[in-house]
Structure formats: structure tokens, C-alpha cells
């Protein structure tokens, strides 16, 4: 059971009652566009949460997708997490989405900083990485702001909605994390 408090947020495990609030996040076209899926039905979202609850109970656990809740009013405003992959299960791939009404207030940066700290501090990950479409500026800025380095720009590596898309690859290693997490990566300041 994972519970990660930050200044304004609590990252916690999903429960079935979260389905309507999570669905409201995922169906917004500005969110669906970047997760490259059509908005799910409420039933789809319920099934997703059932899957997340089941995978949270697995040993070893490889899927950590957490609900992002405001401390002030206990509102579910987003999700973030990682899948554990790689040699010796020491690599975490980060993914996230924030309710459209809460964009641009630093919430996802706060959540991802806590998540990555948990991955290195408690799960003993060696490397955390993420992929973001260069046109999805808010997404790669989050990764840079938590101190991850842009280590790749893949050209037309994905075919989404009838279009070839590029990907930025951002990553950070465990030994880089302590200092990096407090400073935006220079890639992000420069752009």
C-alpha cells in the first residue's frame, strides 16, 4: 500500500469509488489526445481501476499507478505512476494525466517528484524514464522540472491517429537524483 504526501497533494492507491472522477480526467479531449486513446466509458474506467487494484496486490508488483488527491479538499485531480521493467526490474517508466481544470499549477511536477523519489528511495530503481511528444510541452516540461535529462529525440517512431509522431526520451539515474530533483534540467530552462 503506497501513500505519498507532498506539500499540497496525497498520492494514494486507487479505490473503485474513484471511477467517476478518474473518468472525468481521461475523457477530456485535451487529455485523451496525448494518451492516444479515445475517452473511455465509465465502465472502461471501472475495469481499469479493478486491474490496478489487482496488480497492486501482486508480488512482485510491477505496476504503480497512483491517484493524485488534493490535501485541501480531498479531490481526485490526476493519476501518475510507473511500470517496472528492465533488467532485474530496476527501471521505471513514468506516465501521468491531470484533470484539465488543474493544468499549469505545478501539481504534476509536485506529484512526479514524489513518485520518482519513491522509486529510487523505496523501490531501489536504477533508472526512471519517460517518453513525451515534443508538441506536448506541458508533459516534457514536467520531466525537465523534476531534473530528468532529455537523452533522446526519436524521429517519427510512433504512428498515432493517422500521423507519424516524434518522441523525446527523458531519464534519470538513481545516483543523479538527490541533487537533480531540486533543480530543473537545463534543457527545460533553455526552451
Q: Which residues bind ligand COA (CB under 6 A)?
A: 31, 34-35, 96-98, 103-109, 132, 136-139, 141-142
- Could you give the CA distance from residue 166 to residue 153 in angstroms, rounded to a whole number? 7
Closest to ligand COA by CB, 124 or 156? 156
Dihedrals phi, psi of 154, to nearest 5 degrees: -85, 135
Shortest Å distance, C-beta 150 to ligand COA: 13
Closest to ligand COA by CB, 109 or 181? 109
Closest to ligand COA by CB, 1 or 155? 155
Shortest Å distance, C-beta 180 to ligand COA: 16
Query: CB–CB of 51/123 below 8 Å?
Result: no
* C-alpha 89 chain-centroid distance: 18
- Could you give the CA distance from residue 130 to residue 58 in angstroms, rounded to a whole number? 23
Shortest Å distance, C-beta 30 to ligand COA: 6
Query: CB–CB of 79/66 below 8 Å?
Result: yes
Shortest Å distance, C-beta 52 to ligand COA: 17
Report, in angstroms and rounded to the nearest whole number, the Rg of the chain calculated over CA atoms: 16
Amino acid at each position: 500500500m503506497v501513500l505519498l504526501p507532498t506539500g499540497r497533494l496525497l498520492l494514494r492507491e486507487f479505490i473503485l469509488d474513484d471511477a467517476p472522477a478518474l473518468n472525468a480526467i481521461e475523457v477530456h479531449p485535451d487529455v485523451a489526445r496525448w494518451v492516444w486513446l479515445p475517452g473511455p466509458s465509465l465502465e472502461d474506467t471501472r475495469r481499469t481501476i479493478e486491474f490496478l487494484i489487482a496488480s497492486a496486490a501482486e508480488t512482485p508488483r510491477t505496476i504503480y499507478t497512483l491517484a493524485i488527491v488534493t490535501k485541501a479538499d480531498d479531490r481526485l485531480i490526476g493519476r501518475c505512476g510507473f511500470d517496472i521493467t528492465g533488467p532485474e526490474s530496476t527501471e521505471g517508466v513514468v506516465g501521468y494525466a491531470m484533470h484539465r481544470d488543474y493544468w499549469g499549477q505545478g501539481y504534476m511536477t509536485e506529484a512526479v517528484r514524489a513518485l520518482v523519489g519513491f522509486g529510487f528511495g523505496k523501490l531501489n530503481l536504477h533508472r526512471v524514464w519517460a517518453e513525451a511528444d515534443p508538441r506536448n510541452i506541458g508533459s516534457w516540461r514536467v520531466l525537465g522540472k523534476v531534473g530528468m535529462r532529455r537523452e533522446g529525440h526519436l524521429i517519427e517512431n510512433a504512428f498515432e491517429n493517422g500521423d507519424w509522431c516524434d518522441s523525446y526520451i527523458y531519464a534519470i539515474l538513481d545516483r543523479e537524483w538527490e541533487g537533480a530533483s531540486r533543480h530543473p534540467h537545463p534543457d527545460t530552462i533553455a526552451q
